Amino acid sequence: MKHLISVLVENKFGTLNRVASMFSARGFNLESISIGETEDPEISRMTIVTKGEDRIISQVLKQLNRLIDTIKVTDLTHQPHVERELLLLSLKLGKSTQHEIFELANVFKGKVVDIKQKSITIEFVGSPEKINTAIDLFRPFGIRELARSGAVAIHRGES
């Protein structure tokens, strides 16, 4: 099954490479990986999406922990968390489809970030599942290009 892992790492040159090459060297699945600085500029947060049976995931977590540059590894999958992904979707624009595109974009709370005579780029934010659905539904209009950020995630706060 799919797992969402959050890793705090040293914000140092080569850290992303260490993590990514560990995944490939050990044959672990790596669906997406995203990285950015945290509130502490010496620490970055990586969000990793991977798939596997429990036995594999437990190895993934241990191998991540074993890397010297990882500070904290958390499997968020079964914990309360918020998960978001950004999609930039560029579509062909035609008289006949224009209206439907805007309507559908509205349903997904999309934001138009660029519009030209023959193309439109819309920004969507949501869970990866929602992003998948959006892509599926927009496909018939003709997707020119798309870019996804990969998931980022964080623990939900305490009440």
Asked if 75 is part of the footprint of other proteins (rule: CB under 8 A), the reply reads no
Asked if 58 is part of the footprint of other proteins (rule: CB under 8 A), the reply reads yes
- Tokens for 37, please give them: 């600085």
Residue selected from 11, 16, 18, 23 as contacting other proteins according to rule CB under 8 A: 18
- Tokens for 59, please give them: 């190895």
Which window, 32-40, 65-73, 83-91, 125-133, contacts other proteins (CB under 8 A)? 65-73
Which residue, chain included where needed, has tokens 């579509």? 91
SS3 letters across 81-144: EEEEEEEEEEEECCHHHHHHHHHHHHHCCCEEEEECCCEEEEEEEECHHHHHHHHHHHHHHCEE
Residue selected from 2, 37, 38, 66 as contacting other proteins according to rule CB under 8 A: 66
Residue selected from 21, 29, 38, 133 as contacting other proteins according to rule CB under 8 A: 21
Nearest distance, CB of residue 70 and other proteins, angstroms: 5
* Size of site (CB under 8 A) for other proteins: 21
SS3 43: strand
